[in-house]
């Protein structure tokens, strides 16, 4: 390409025809690029600065022309542009470079969503003129489904929509109020895809996860995020006014109305939690990145018991307590014959830790105890009323049927809990 060829700017050619007066900036005016002229003499066509400005002007025009040519070449790599446009031009499409859109690789959100969605169902419960909507996880091919207790607590007629769109009726097999879990059984089904359950004991903070559910009635919605924290004490006030407390998984994957009871899965598509509650902001009941799930290690134990016996069990320590000023739990009373009494706990003492987990409130104590299996042995760090003279106490937890949520007596939990169930009203009831 020569200087007088295609690379020559039309604007630079026009400069040869322009008069000095046309290149002069009137006094009091300014260029959007260079700003106002410093004085009238700088606009003089004979002034060296004016001449230099014209040279820069030509250089900029040439650069713009070169850019346009380069852009045309780049576009031409994908398709040829006909002179003057061509209404018959056909745009070409290309397969993805990093893999197909149909067969995703394990360890990706796409893979996890595809695998877990095949065992996720939508649950609608209608009671009179009101109703709720949630999500469920298929546990067996013949129709046992795990969900939240608060989704089915109204006792209304249950309708379940399968992944293929088929609708089935269902009945409640059993509920676990303390863990906000329930198992329902679908009528006349077979050959369902059961979910693959993982292990919540192996989770790490920062691990990618995927939530699947029916927020606002939008079935099969997938959101992704990470595990934000583990061992969160989640306390939600149930419909009967009693607090439901559990040791939860915190995630920033979006959980909204209708996600309740749905699976939280790892990137292998294994269920590692059951989505249950959120922490809203002010008057907003929507997701702000603070969602909580019941660990699958607890949920699977409870579900097995509900399927076999229609009732679940929960571990028993056998104390009542209040929050102490030292940042622990003061034991108010010890139940006669309880595991706590057998281990030597006494009223007035404080419980500082359960295992390696510090407890700063009675709710923390309930959450940490409930994370264990009935009959398991745990270690408590116990101190005097002032938090001194700490000692280790081994306790073998008892077992009791879970027919009601745990009673919480400390003063702080008499206030309204900041946690809440997602507002799982059916779309028509909002």
Catalytic site positions: 150, 180, 260
The CA–CA distances, whole Å, from 407 to 81, 396, 403 equal 75, 21, 12
Q: What is the CA radius of gyration of the chain?
A: 34
Q: Report yes or no: 189 and 149 within 8 Å, Cβ to Cβ.
A: no
Residue 211 CB neighbours (<10 A): 29
Torsional class of 126: left (φ above 0), alpha (ψ -120 to 50), beta (otherwise): beta
Give the SS3 label for residue 254.
coil
341-345: which pairs have CB atoms within 8 A and are 24 or more residues apart? 342/395, 342/396, 343/380, 343/393, 343/394, 343/395, 343/396, 344/393, 345/319, 345/380, 345/382, 345/393, 345/395
Torsional class of 288: left (φ above 0), alpha (ψ -120 to 50), beta (otherwise): alpha
Q: Residue 121 and residue 167: Cα distance in Å, rounded? A: 10
Q: Residue 324 and residue 40: Cα distance in Å, rounded? A: 81
- Report which DSSP code applies to 388: -
CA atoms 261, 122, 279, 293: torsion sign: positive
Locus of tokens 């300014």:
30
Q: Residue 224 and residue 205: Cα distance in Å, rounded? A: 15
Q: Residue 381 and residue 394: Cα distance in Å, rounded? A: 9
Q: Report yes or no: 408 and 361 within 8 Å, Cβ to Cβ.
A: no
Q: Residue 429 and residue 410: Cα distance in Å, rounded? A: 36
Instruction: Tokens for 235, please give them.
Output: 């306390």
Locus of tokens 């622990």:
328
Q: Residue 143 and residue 66: Cα distance in Å, rounded? A: 67
Distance of CA 232 to the CA centre of its chain: 15
């Amino acid at each position: 390409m020569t200087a007088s060829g295609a690379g020559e700017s039309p604007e630079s050619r026009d400069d040869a025809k322009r008069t000095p007066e046309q290149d002069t900036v009137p006094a009091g005016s300014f260029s959007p690029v260079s700003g106002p002229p410093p004085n009238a003499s700088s606009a003089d066509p004979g002034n060296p600065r004016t001449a230099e400005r014209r040279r820069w002007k030509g250089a900029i025009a040439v650069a713009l022309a070169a850019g346009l040519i380069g852009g045309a070449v780049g576009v031409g790599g994908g398709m040829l542009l006909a002179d003057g446009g061509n209404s018959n031009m056909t745009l070409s499409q290309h397969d993805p470079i990093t893999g197909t859109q149909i067969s995703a690789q394990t360890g990706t959100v796409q893979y996890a969503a595809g695998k877990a969605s095949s065992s996720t169902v939508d649950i609608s419960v209608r009671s009179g003129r009101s109703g709720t909507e949630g999500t469920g996880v298929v546990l067996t091919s013949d129709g046992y489904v795990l969900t939240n207790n608060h989704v089915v607590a109204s006792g209304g007629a249950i309708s379940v929509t399968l992944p293929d769109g088929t609708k089935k009726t269902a009945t409640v097999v059993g509920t676990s109020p303390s863990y906000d879990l329930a198992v329902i059984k679908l009528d006349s089904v077979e050959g369902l895809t059961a979910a693959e359950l993982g292990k919540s004991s192996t989770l790490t903070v920062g691990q990618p996860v995927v939530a699947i559910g029916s927020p606002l009635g939008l079935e099969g919605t997938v959101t992704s995020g990470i595990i934000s924290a583990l061992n969160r004490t989640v306390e939600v006030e149930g419909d009967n006014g009693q607090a439901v407390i559990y040791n939860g998984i915190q995630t920033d994957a979006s959980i909204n109305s209708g996600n309740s009871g749905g699976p939280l899965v790892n990137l292998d598509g294994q269920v590692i939690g059951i989505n249950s509650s959120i922490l809203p902001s002010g008057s907003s009941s929507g997701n702000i990145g603070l969602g909580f799930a019941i660990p699958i290690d607890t949920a699977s134990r409870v579900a097995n018991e509900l399927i076999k016996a229609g009732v679940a069990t929960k571990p028993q320590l056998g104390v009542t307590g209040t929050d102490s000023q030292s940042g622990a739990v003061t034991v108010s009373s010890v139940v006669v014959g309880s595991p706590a009494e057998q281990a030597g706990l006494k009223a007035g003492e404080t419980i500082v830790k359960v295992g390696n987990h510090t407890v700063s409130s009675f709710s923390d104590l309930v959450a940490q105890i409930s994370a264990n299996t009935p009959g398991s042995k745990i270690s408590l760090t116990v101190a005097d009323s002032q938090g001194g003279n700490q000692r280790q106490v081994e306790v073998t937890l008892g077992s009791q049927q879970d027919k009601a949520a745990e009673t919480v007596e400390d003063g702080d939990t008499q206030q309204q809990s900041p946690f809440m169930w997602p507002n799982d009203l059916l779309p028509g009831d909002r």
